[in-house]
Structure formats: structure tokens, C-alpha cells
Amino acid sequence: METALERVEGQICPICKQPFQKDCDVAVCPDCGLPHHRECFLKAGLCAHHAFHGLEDCLPEGEQFNAPTTCPVCGSSNPSHVSNCLRCGVNLAVQSNSQPEPFFNIFSTSAVFNPQLGGLDPQQTIDGALVEDIANCVAVNTQYYLPKFNAMDKSGSRISFNWAAFLIPYFWFFYRKIYSFGVLAMTLIISFLIIFSPISQRVYEIYQDNTMAEVEEFLRIQFMVKSPLLSVCLVIFVLAHLIFGLIANKVYLDEIIKKVRKIRQSELDPNEHRMTLMASGGVNYFLPALVLFIINTISNFLIDLFYS
């Protein structure tokens, strides 16, 4: 079977204009499948044809859009203006009689560099699990998480800050299917709403009829004199969010590794194995939306309760 590097050997790198050699590192653009020398791709930071991606009126002069081209290797449909398959990276001008090499471009075992893997080798391991398995399980935003996971694995650190988990942990944990932490974060925000809604209602009333200085004095009395426990609750809330942000990536890595190891033990065929990883991992769009709806409903109820 023709290897990935053999497919691009002899072609010209669009950046340095030098031909691809047998042992060179190759980076394939995830948008149009155009191959580059890895060093050239990383130095440029983008595809040499990035200006043409999806823009009919920006194609080089003389080129036109025609019927989609079917890849002879993986069978996927490609826009007529791309020179390499968007899915597997094969040169579409070369009619190959070889059998399809499943998912070559993104999660295959080939040596071609893929930006979606964050520059990692698909056969490299993180905490004993293959990068390609972890990538299939993460599914969304792999180029962000794989380097984070790799850095934590090499350093042994459990700390890696995640802004989404810090700002909206109840949303992020459910989105990434980490349900136990999602429930914890949701309980925290609901408790915060219940505790502080009466205060926010009183602040609103004072602000309507008085100056900002009087609002500040009211808050000082509430937090420092009448109920110091409120200050403690506020500090706990902020610290909890900070902790969520600091541990989220490690918690997520542990969850992914657990799923990968469990599925690996099932000894499925390669395609079914990949599909099972993607189904078990990936993201959940429904639950985060439901959580936001519940929190918004509770917030509106408390507003009506204290403002009526």
C-alpha cells in the first residue's frame, strides 16, 4: 500500500518551492489538503493557499469551479479547486488503485504532520494511551487539548489552567461530559443565586433612589458588619471557580484516559473502535443548553420573588 509520504514525494512545497524528499516531514493543510514541508508550515503559520479557502472569487486567475472531485483513495468528495483530498491528503491528480487508507489525514498512523494533533505523532502515548485514540475521544478542539495533555504527562503536573472551566464551569463540564463535576458546579452557582439574590435586590432598590456611595456603604455593612458569612461565601465561590479552572484539564485527561482504556479492552475492529471512542467522548450540546435554561429559570424566579 502506498504510504502518505510516497503520495507527496516529488511534489513541490508551495512555500519554499523545493520538492518533497523521501524522508522529509510533511504538514497537510486541514482545510484544503495542500502538503507543505513541516518547517515551512510552522514558520508561515498558515497554508500557502489560505486566501483561496472557500472563496470562489479569490481563486488564481484562469481557475474555475467545476463538479466536485471524488478522491480515488478514501472516496470523499472535494471541491474542484483543491489539489489534495481534504480528508486523506492524497494528490487528486494521481489516480491510485490502492485500497483506502482510513482517516489518514487526521488520526492515522502515517508520519505526516497534522495540525489537528497539535504536532504530536498519532502513535505517541500520553499516560499509556495512544494520541490517535485520545484525539478521537476528544473529537472537538484537539489541537488545543493534545498539547496540554502531553505537557502535563511529561511534567507530571496536575495544574493546567482552562479559562472556560474558570468562567463557566457548570457549562464546560457538562459540555465535555464530565457530569459529576458539572453537577457540583451547577449546585454551586444555584446556591450563590439563592444566597445573594436578596442582597442584589436591596442594592438595586438603593441604587434607584440614592448615590453609588450609599450602595457601597450598604454593601460594607452587609458583608463586614451584619453578616461576615456572606463574605466567606463570596470568597468560597471565587476560589471554587479558580480551582475548577486549574484542575479542569487534568480532570478531563483522566476522564478521557479512562474511556480509552475501557474501549481498548473491547478489542473492536479499527473502524468500530474509532467510532466507539468518538461516541463515548466528544461533546454534549444538549445538557449545557439545558443547564443554562435551568439556571436562567431559577434566576428569573428569584428576581420575581424578591423584586415583587
Highest mean predicted confidence (pLDDT) among 113-117, 195-199, 242-246 = 242-246
> Measured between alpha carbons, how far is 160 from 240 in angstroms, rounded to an integer?
15
**Taking the alpha carbons of 262, 264, 268, 273 in that order, is the dihedral positive or negative?**
positive
Residue 98, φ and ψ in degrees, nearest 5 = -75, 160
What band does 108 get if pLDDT is binned at 50, 70 and 90?
very low
- Return mean pLDDT, the chain: 75
224-241 pLDDT, tens digit per residue, is: 555 666 667 778 889 999
Lowest-confidence pick of 88-92, 118-122, 157-161 = 88-92
Residue 36, φ and ψ in degrees, nearest 5 = -135, 160
Q: How far is CA 48 from CA 35, 43, 91, 224, in A?
A: 9, 11, 16, 61
> Measured between alpha carbons, how far is 280 from 265 in angstroms, rounded to an integer?
14
Q: What is the pLDDT of residue 82?
A: 63
Mean pLDDT calculated for residue range 263-273:
84
Asked if 88 contacts 101 with a C-beta cutoff of 8 angstroms, the reply is: yes
130-152 pLDDT, tens digit per residue, is: 888 898 899 888 888 998 999 99
**At CA 292, angle to CA 290 and CA 298, rounded to 5?**
105
Question: 252: part of which helix (H) or strand (E)?
Answer: helix 228-264
**At CA 84, angle to CA 81 and CA 88, rounded to 5?**
135
Q: Cα–chain-centroid distance for residue 49?
A: 24
Is 213 exposed, middle or buried, given 0-12, 13-18 or 19+ CB atoms closer than 10 A? Answer: exposed
**Predicted confidence (pLDDT) at residue 128 exceeds the cutoff of 60:** yes
Place of cell 474555475: 64
Q: What is the pLDDT of residue 75?
A: 57
**Predicted confidence (pLDDT) at residue 291 exceeds the cutoff of 70:** yes
What band does 248 get if pLDDT is binned at 50, 70 and 90?
very high
- Extract the C-alpha cell encoding 97: 488503485
> Measured between alpha carbons, how far is 58 from 142 in angstroms, rounded to an integer?
29
- Extract the C-alpha cell encoding 153: 504527562
Helix axes 131-138, 270-280, angle to 10 degrees: 50
Tell me the domain boundaries of the chain. Answer: 4-117, 163-307
Q: What is the pLDDT of residue 102?
A: 38
What band does 100 get if pLDDT is binned at 50, 70 and 90?
very low
Greater confidence (178 vs 61) lies with: 178
**Predicted confidence (pLDDT) at residue 33 exceeds the cutoff of 90:** no
Mean pLDDT calculated for residue range 260-283:
86
- SS3 of 257, please? helix
- Extract the C-alpha cell encoding 199: 442582597
**Predicted confidence (pLDDT) at residue 95 exceeds the cutoff of 60:** no
What band does 18 get if pLDDT is binned at 50, 70 and 90?
confident
> Measured between alpha carbons, how far is 214 from 209 in angstroms, rounded to an integer?
10
- For 160-191, give the secondary structure using H, E and C: CCCHHHHHCHHHHHHHCCCHHHHHHHHHHHHH
Q: DSSP assignment, residue 52?
A: G
Is 154 exposed, middle or buried, given 0-12, 13-18 or 19+ CB atoms closer than 10 A? Answer: exposed
Phi-psi domain of 94 (left: phi exceeds 0; alpha: psi -120 through 50; beta: other) = beta
Q: What is the percentage of the chain residues whose pLDDT exceeds 70?
A: 62
